Amino acid sequence: MIVRRAWIGALALGVLVAGLHERAAAFPVDGDQTTLPPKTELNEDALDKPREVFHSELAGGKSYMINLGDLAFNSPGVLGGVARQAGVSCGTCHVNGAGNAKLFMPKMSTRPGNFDTTGPLFNPKADNQVLDPVRIPSLRGARYLAPYGFDGRMPSLRDFVHNVIVNEFAGPEPSPGTLDAIVAYIQDIDFLPNPSLGPGGRLVGKINESERRGEALFMKPFPHDPSLSCAGCHTPSGVFSDHLQHDIGSGGLFKTPTLRNADFNAPYFHDGRFDSYDQVVAHFDRVFDLGLSTQDQRDLVAYLTAVGDGTQPYEHDGASATLKEINGFTAVLGAAIPAGDKDIVALAVDTIGNELRELTEQYPDHKNTSVTGGEQQRVMARSALKDLVLTLRRIDMAVADGRTADAAADYKNYRYLMAAAVPALLAGAQPWSLFNPAVHDSHYAALRQVMQSRHMSH
Amino acid sequence: MIGVRTAAGLMLLALGIGLRAAIAAPIDDAAEQYRPYMIEGIGQALAGARDLRERIAVHDLAGAKKAWISARAGWERSEVFTAGFVPELDAEIDAWPNAVSGFHAVEAKLFGAGSTDALADVDELVRHLDSLHGKLYGMTLSPQGLLDGTVRLAYEVGEGKADGGESRISGTSLDDMRNNVAGIGFAYRTIFGPALGAADTRLAEAVDARIRQLEVIVAAPDLPHVDIPALRRASEELVVTLQSASAKLGLQRPTLEANLK
């Protein structure tokens, strides 16, 4: 997902949500009521976002279903109720299909990167009265990772998604088509490639000695129970998971997580209790009495790091990346307008319009003190994006009125502008936009200063 | 990639901006009827700012906050015309976020730091508002400029300020929205409503319905209860409807940004 920025959180909820990858989302209305825990960053601080690799792009392009699923995944309306009001979508937690190690919601998280799916905020009926958050997982390679849930309780991804929407978030019953589309989208998200992994999951290429020793330790039976080994559960010949539940001394039975791309999946364990592989290895050493030397532990960490790597894990969150995602969403309209599908058109217009509004805010207006110069370029960029938002709204109104031909004409116009004019105007304004790190830093430093002045006074 | 100038030309062509309709409507006089409202709105902002200066002088923090809120209300309902007609003063008075002068600089001290050490800032605010107030009596009021401003503010209202908005420190962003909507409603009903009603009743009713919808949405008790998606939709539908109305009023289709050259 593009997303977004979020000055923290669902203000609208009266809570503080840090790490929303949405440009607009939030700052606490009552910022003095809450402080950010250590290590939490404002999402705006990050100009990089996780790279999303689609399986279907290797085969010629994404289908309508995958684009629709991507759109729905990033639409707060799908989750309904509180989430819709707060602008929270599936993509808020699973940014571009990866996890969101920075997300923190008071009363729902105990640390950045975890979230209580049975907490009071989104569905009071699902509240189990216990603060028991679970790690927000990456969805990369999800099609290989059944069963689903931190405890592997659901064999079907479709059932799992349905449960998240209807029970965890108290959202409206999704149409079968929307549900199928979300599943198609999730199943299309690939692992990032890792050139160090060869056949059977063995390390290949330029492997150092520590990694090699770590690989041997990983395969070696545990000293006090030779039926066990790291590789016994994290099966290298598969996806470094045996798809089963185990008790590893962390408080219950939990599904074996994949180690693929795990370098980017911290925090670790079902509740996100560990920040690093060092802590994970130390836990296993202690619980299973492995007798690892300091060097052994280093070697295992080196091995895990090599296995968990991925090519280009992040990409710059610039206007072109945002437009690319928006164009994927927009493709849905190409089919929904001729079909007169009011619901899908409304979903697309609301979601894309929201993205475009958020993108507009990357080009500061004349009142913004964080940037000087390029005023005309900024004005043109903002104006172009606003015109797109309104063109989409005209499409929505026309389809709702049954004026499909008018909607099709506006859609053609929209596509025409998105093909060349809009990218050129955004590129022209880039030096004075928040995509420029200097402007970005200046802007958010000013916002932080403003918020801190409030915190200091209370 | 094409050049910025070419791209801008393509945008104008594709969106039909700049094409003035042949049918003219008698709204020049109606624009003049809006002037007293402008004077009153900025007059309230100025009176509030002067009161604020007096409160600060005696270190009355609670009174100063009240005066700031009153001044702010007058300002927000005037935003229909400030960005388009007096962009320099608009930027001075409403600079954000790291403001060295204007409302938000004072807001940070009063509501943020809890300090009345803001006399110089308030002096500056009074000076700028006074200057603006003086200009209003002789300013040429073009219906096109006022329609542009109404449309821009209608779009801005749809941004929702769910993140706390500009006035997040004082917690008065919902008041900002209400005053914005009040400003939009008054400008439309005073300047454009009668002419549009005569030219196209259905379109006039459609505009009215969207303004009423906005009024209902921002009447929510607090910001968390504002239906942001509905607000955004109503705002955009209002803008689209007003853009359609521009031709009926004999005006150009409004642009979405002030100072677009």
Helices (H), A248-374: 277-287, 294-307, 319-336, 342-360
Contact criterion met (CB < 8 Å) for B260 and A384:
no
Q: CA distances (Å), A216 to each of A175, A203, A256, A263, A403, in order?
A: 49, 11, 20, 20, 67
Q: What per-residue confidence (pLDDT) applies to A47? A: 67
DSSP state of A340: T
Distance CA B7, CA A196 (A): 45
By C-alpha distance, which of A47, A49, A5, A45 is closest to A27? A5
Question: Which of A350, A390, A457 minimises the CB distance to B112?
Answer: A457
Nearest residue in B to A444, CA atom: B97
Distance CA A355, CA A350 (A): 9
For residues A181 and A210, membership in a common domain is answered with: no
Q: In chain B, positions 214-253, which contact chain A (CB-CB < 8 Å)? A: 223-224, 226-229, 232-233, 236-237, 239-240, 243
DSSP state of A134: E
Please indicate, yes or no, if residue A91 is contained in any of the structural domains: yes
Which CATH number does the domain housing residue B218 bear? 1.20.120
Please indicate, yes or no, if residue B61 is contained in any of the structural domains: yes
Task: Give the CB-side neighbour count of residue A268, counting CA atoms within 13 A.
Answer: 21
Residue A290 CA to its chain's centroid (Å):
36
| Total tally of structural domains belonging to chain B | 2
Residues ≥6 apart with Cβ < 8 Å to A122: A79, A81, A82, A83, A168, A169, A170
For residues B80 and B173, membership in a common domain is answered with: no
For residues A78 and A180, membership in a common domain is answered with: yes
DSSP state of A89: -
Q: Which domain holds residue B235?
A: 143-248
Q: Does residue A267 have a cis peptide bond before it, meaning omega lies within 30 degrees of 0? A: yes
Question: Which of A11, A376, A445 minimises the CB distance to B261?
Answer: A376
Q: Which of A107-121, B21-35, B127-141 has the lowest mean pLDDT?
A: B21-35
For residues A146 and A271, membership in a common domain is answered with: no
Distance CA A113, CA A110 (A): 9
Q: Which run of H or of E encompasses A245?
A: strand A245-247
Q: Does residue A147 have a cis peptide bond before it, meaning omega lies within 30 degrees of 0? A: yes
Selected residue of A8, A350, A357, A366 to mutate for chain B interface (largest B Cβ count, 10 A): A366
For residues B105 and B41, membership in a common domain is answered with: yes
Q: Which residue has the tokens 């598969």?
A: A238
Task: Give the CB-side neighbour count of residue A220, counting CA atoms within 13 A.
Answer: 14
3-class DSSP state of B129 = helix
Chain B residue numbers with beta carbons less than 8 Å from the beta carbon of A30 are: 171
Chain B residue numbers with beta carbons less than 8 Å from the beta carbon of A367 are: 90-91, 94-96
Tens digits of per-residue pLDDT, A80-98?
A: 888 988 889 999 999 999 9
Tens digits of per-residue pLDDT, A214-233?
A: 999 999 999 999 999 999 99
Last residue of a domain, one of B80, B109, B136: B136
Nearest residue in A to B102, CA atom: A367
Q: Which domain holds residue A181?
A: 48-188
For residues B122 and B148, membership in a common domain is answered with: no
Chain A residue numbers with beta carbons less than 8 Å from the beta carbon of B229 are: 76-77, 84-85, 350
Q: For the whole model, what pTM was predicted?
A: 0.89
Under-70 pLDDT residues of chain A = 1-47, 453-458
Contact criterion met (CB < 8 Å) for B236 and A354:
no
For residues A65 and A171, membership in a common domain is answered with: yes
Q: What per-residue confidence (pLDDT) applies to B163? A: 59
The more confidently predicted of residues B36 and B4 is B36
The more confidently predicted of residues B222 and B236 is B236
For residues A254 and A369, membership in a common domain is answered with: no
Smallest CA–CA distance, residue B12 to chain A, in Å, is 9
